[in-house]
Amino acid sequence: MDFAFTPKQVALQQWVRQIAEEKIAPIAEEADESPTVHAGLMAILANEGLLKYCVPEEYGGVGVRVMDLCIIREELARVSCQADTNFIMQGLGSYPITLGGTDEQKAKYLPPIARGESIAAFALTEPHAGSDVISMKTEAKLDGDDWVLNGQKKFISQAGDASTYTVFAQTEPGQGSRGISVFVVEAGTPGFDDSKRMDLMAAHPTGEPKWVDCHVPQANLLGERGRGLRLAMGTLDTFRTTVAAAAIGMAQAAYEASIEYAKNRQMFGQNLSDFQATQFKLADMAVSLDAARLLAQRAAWLKDSGQESVIKEASFAKLFGTEAATRIIHEAVQIHGGAGLERGNRVERLYREVRALTIYEGTSEIQRETIARQILKD
């Protein structure tokens, strides 16, 4: 196993860091507090060509590699949570098309996503079906040449701003994991309403799209009928590790802010960083960051090297990375004292933003369940 970055990966990291620091940082606070996709931020991601990393080479991208996605997510999330979300949703939202689409479907939908002309969304979760996705209620029934969709989703990132939705629905109710199919639904299709937005503790653009007798052509079915859950799991298996990378980027920002603050905050005739209690906090942060990075890089490397299943390694990375980041950012607020609670302070925003990461794309409890299943099987 070789975790050393290739020269191409080192160059990618330097390039994204420069974009993040020079172009995104000046608008990061405003963008991160926006409950809708921030047009200026999306334009930077598109114009710089970053969105191409979410799409295969043959369809206007540069290819989807987990290590590249991790490098990009860490650098973006270090500066702006919204930049990270906008970036990765182009990949997550379109990956069922990449995995299961026909050449025609890929040629139609993927190039505009790589160019940022079309925003993608991944619509799986419902009000009564989160971790237990199989219990989803959204249904699609064949009516002549059309599929007719009825149902509602919840917590769908970028809903309301997106134009290309991959939507999971029951086509064979009662068939469990073999009864779900996935469709591409374009915004503006009659019977599709994506106007309802959600208001979360950190301004992550999310919505509750719904479908009432919404007709989509048969050509919008992705992959085999009844095998949509395989596309969902294939997508999450690829992207789960990258959530850890985003968490690491956020924790890295909190760690850097804590060192800076501790070195400059004067008290009792010395600096905050002179106290052993502070030094131990910083040491624990540094070790957790390193461990989280190594777990994420291992899972990414294994996936990119073609290992058939990285379920266990991706869950290790997601579980440890997101929980470590939550702890690191919690301690960063503590080091900042009252200043860490002030709106406008970087660690205050991170404290709100990091909370979602142990919940989305499989909660920590689901990761532990997955890991336990794998180790008991071994």
Choose one: 50-58, 122-130, 143-151, 262-270; the region binding ligand FAD (CB under 6 A).
122-130
Per-residue tokens: 5: 């970055």
Within residues 68-87, the interface with ligand FAD by CB under 6 A covers none
- The residue annotated as part of the active site, out of 208, 348, 353, 361, is 361
Within residues 137-166, the interface with ligand FAD by CB under 6 A covers 155-157
If the CB atoms of residues 120 and 335 are measured against ligand FAD, the closer one turns out to be 120
From 43, 55, 156, select the one nearest 109 (Cα to Cα): 55
Asked if residue 134 lies in contact with residue 177, where contact means CB atoms within 8 angstroms, the answer is yes
* Residue from 77, 328, 356, 370 in contact with ligand FAD (CB under 6 A): 356
* Residue from 41, 44, 51, 123 in contact with ligand FAD (CB under 6 A): 123
Choose one: 178-186, 293-301, 306-314, 357-365; the region binding ligand FAD (CB under 6 A).
357-365
If the CB atoms of residues 95 and 147 are measured against ligand FAD, the closer one turns out to be 95
Choose one: 34-42, 109-117, 269-277, 354-362; the region binding ligand FAD (CB under 6 A).
354-362
Half-sphere exposure at residue 357, Cβ-oriented, CA atoms within 13 angstroms: 36
If the CB atoms of residues 165 and 301 are measured against ligand FAD, the closer one turns out to be 165
> x/- site string to ligand FAD, residues 183 to 212, per CB under 6 A?
-----------------x---x-x------
Give the pairing of strands 139-143 and 270-271. Answer: unpaired
* Residue from 9, 150, 152, 363 in contact with ligand FAD (CB under 6 A): 363
User: 361 catalytic, yes or no?
Assistant: yes
Query: How many residues belong to the site for ligand FAD (CB under 6 A)?
Result: 20
Residue nearest to ligand FAD (CB): 130
Choose one: 125-133, 179-187, 309-317, 340-348; the region binding ligand FAD (CB under 6 A).
125-133
Active site members: 361
Q: Which residues are at the interface with ligand FAD (CB under 6 A)?
A: 122-125, 130-131, 155-157, 200, 204, 206, 356, 359-361, 363, 365-366, 369
